[in-house]
Copies of this chain bind each other. A is one copy, B any other.
């Protein structure tokens, strides 16, 4: 199975937007169907990105820092810092092979372009939109 951190993070934020209140990692974990520690690890990244704020201690938990309309999936993507969409071969090229020597540069460009395309896509989706989908589906 591949990296589900981004999906988990989107899920968490959508849940917080839907609840419009602070939630503890236990409840979030139940909604995502995973372990609270996994949630807390993700919350660390989301907190660093300024998307959420969390209270420690009794009655602690996490809440959104911004309005759902002000959070795009790109913000979440950047907070999580997933691996590149297209991996490139980082090995030592074969010196005598022109193709081998040029591939890293070529694939860097291809990879950057793919990354950009995904980012543009995610930039256009706000948490608000997802929230409305949840509300409509209810």
Interface residues of A (CB under 8 A from B): 1-4, 6-8, 10-11, 14-15, 18, 30-34, 73, 83-94, 97-103, 105-107, 110, 113-114, 116-118, 120-122, 125, 130, 133-135, 137-138
Query: What chain B residues lie within 8 Å of A137 (beta carbons)?
Result: 98, 101-102, 105
A10 pairs with B110, CB closer than 8 A: yes
Instruction: State how many copies of this chain the complex holds.
Output: 2
Distance of A77 Cα from B38 Cα, bound (Å): 32
Distance of A11 Cα from B102 Cα, bound (Å): 10
B15 pairs with A89, CB closer than 8 A: no
Q: A33-B94, A118-B117 in contact; A125/B110 too (CB < 8 A)?
A: yes
Q: Smallest Cβ distance from A21 to chain B, in angstroms?
A: 13
Q: A7-B86, A87-B1, A122-B114 in contact; A99/B14 too (CB < 8 A)?
A: yes
Q: A94-B33, A118-B114 in contact; A7/B107 too (CB < 8 A)?
A: yes
